[in-house]
């Protein structure tokens, strides 16, 4: 059987969820925000190409998230350790070789982080959160004492869990770090990704120009050095599919998906599929880089491409010190070839999409 990922969620009742956010947003707004976090996470898990079955486990019965076609269960009574151990043991008892619990308040966690946790050759794999806890735990084996002595909701929850599991005779691996959304500062790091419309053209120009200027400053003139025009961006919005990642009214990142092959792509280097989508003009504004925005944009691009429907996403990256090659490889895109096109060294990348 495939692995299972259970999203642990609380019923989105005002005053019971995201109390730190409620101080600034108000209890009702904080509850609605939490409901949207879990919705966004479920949407990404279902559409992210994960080779796993997704389910939702709420703390009490709730009508929230009923539009998602996933298995629903109620968590058992007890502390967090009791509830997680019961859920993990149940999923493993169904014959699965690996089971994961994922917190509902990590709407932007990279899918690749979860895939790594599921792939570890250890009894327990923990996804560390930046606040000292952990956003996910994946297990292939459980014991009754694996959470004994853990101080929940503290900065030592991760180290306590690691120590408890090792005392219980379980091997432990630690995955990639990510953040959960608990505070207004965390909330500012959670971009919303949408398809751009005409009103976004100026913001897209600002982002792409800022990114181009930073690259030129850091690495000298290259093919990135020319800045876009608003009319050019408007044409892309109207004829292709431009995505934007925004925080409030500000656009932080963007990319474009197109069915027409860009000038630098040689299709002979890619997998033969009935339909491919081409990704280009990706940029994140310099002051928002290294916050996972590029990953989030790529995941949304993959989700949209699957629904198009298309069987692969193709792109070319400039082979230079700017880091794009390493970025796409880290995000799970496969290198398919290296060429020099009109004097520009390029690396081709592809993501073959599962349905």
pLDDT of residue 339 exceeding 70, the answer is yes
CA distance 316 to 174: 33
Contacts for 39 with CB less than 8 Å, ≥ 6 apart: 65, 68
pLDDT band at 224 (very low <50, low <70, confident <90, very high): confident
Specify burial of residue 11 (Cβ count, 10 A radius: 0-12, 13-18, 19+): middle
φ, ψ of residue 63 to 5 degrees: the values are -85, -5
Q: What is the mean pLDDT of residues 162-191?
A: 92
Q: What is the mean pLDDT of residues 22-35?
A: 92
Q: How far is CA 188 from CA 104, 184, 262, in A?
A: 17, 6, 34
Q: What is the mean pLDDT of residues 217-227?
A: 78
Q: What is the mean pLDDT of residues 31-60?
A: 91
CA distance 253 to 293: 7
133-149 per-residue burial string, b: 16 or more CB within 10 A, e: under 16? bbbbbbbbbbbeebbee
Indicate the class that CATH gives domain 4-186: alpha beta
Predicted confidence at residue 321, as pLDDT, reads 65
pLDDT of residue 319 exceeding 90, the answer is no
pLDDT of residue 202 exceeding 80, the answer is yes
Q: What is the mean pLDDT of residues 284-295?
A: 87
pLDDT band at 110 (very low <50, low <70, confident <90, very high): confident
Fold entry, domain 191-352: Aminopeptidase (3.40.630)
**Percentage of the chain with pLDDT > 90?**
73
pLDDT of residue 355 exceeding 60, the answer is no
Query: Which sequence spans correspond to the domains of the chain?
Result: 4-186, 191-352
183-200 per-residue burial string, b: 16 or more CB within 10 A, e: under 16? beebbebbbebeebeeeb
Predicted confidence at residue 160, as pLDDT, reads 98
Average pLDDT over the chain, rounded to an integer: 92
Supply 299's token pair: 């995941």
């Amino acid at each position: 059987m495939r692995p299972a990922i259970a999203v642990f969620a609380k019923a989105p009742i005002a005053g019971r969820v995201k109390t730190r956010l409620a101080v600034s947003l108000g209890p009702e707004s904080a509850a609605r925000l939490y409901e949207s976090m879990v919705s966004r996470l479920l949407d990404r898990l279902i559409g992210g190409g994960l080779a796993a079955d997704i389910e939702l486990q709420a703390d009490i019965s709730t009508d929230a998230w009923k539009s998602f076609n996933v298995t629903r269960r109620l968590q058992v009574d007890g502390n967090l350790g009791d509830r997680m151990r019961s859920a993990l043991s149940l999923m493993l008892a169904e014959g699965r070789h690996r089971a994961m619990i994922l917190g509902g308040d990590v709407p932007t966690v990279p899918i690749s982080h979860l895939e790594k946790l599921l792939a570890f050759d250890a009894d327990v794999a923990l996804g560390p959160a930046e606040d000292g806890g952990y956003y996910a735990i994946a297990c292939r084996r459980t014991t009754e004492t694996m959470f004994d002595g853990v101080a929940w909701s503290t900065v030592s929850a991760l180290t306590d869990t690691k120590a408890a599991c090792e005392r219980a005779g379980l091997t432990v691996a630690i995955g990639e770090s990510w953040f959960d959304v608990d505070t207004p500062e965390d909330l500012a790091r959670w971009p919303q990704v949408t398809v751009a419309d005409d009103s976004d053209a100026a913001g897209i120009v600002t982002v792409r120009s800022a990114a181009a200027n930073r690259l030129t400053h850091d690495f000298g003139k290259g093919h990135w050095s020319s800045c876009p025009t608003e009319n050019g961006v408007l044409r892309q919005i109207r004829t292709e599919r431009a995505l934007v990642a925004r925080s409030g009214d500000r656009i932080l990142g963007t990319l474009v998906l197109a069915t027409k092959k860009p000038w630098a792509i040689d299709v002979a280097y890619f997998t033969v599929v009935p339909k491919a989508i081409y990704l280009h003009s990706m940029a994140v504004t310099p002051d928002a880089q290294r916050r996972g925005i590029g990953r989030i944009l790529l995941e949304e691009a993959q989700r949209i491409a699957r629904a198009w429907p298309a069987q692969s996403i193709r792109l070319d990256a400039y082979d230079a010190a700017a880091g794009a090659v390493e970025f796409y490889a880290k995000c799970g895109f496969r290198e398919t070839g290296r060429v020099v096109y009109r004097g520009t060294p390029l690396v081709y990348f592809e993501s073959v999409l599962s349905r």
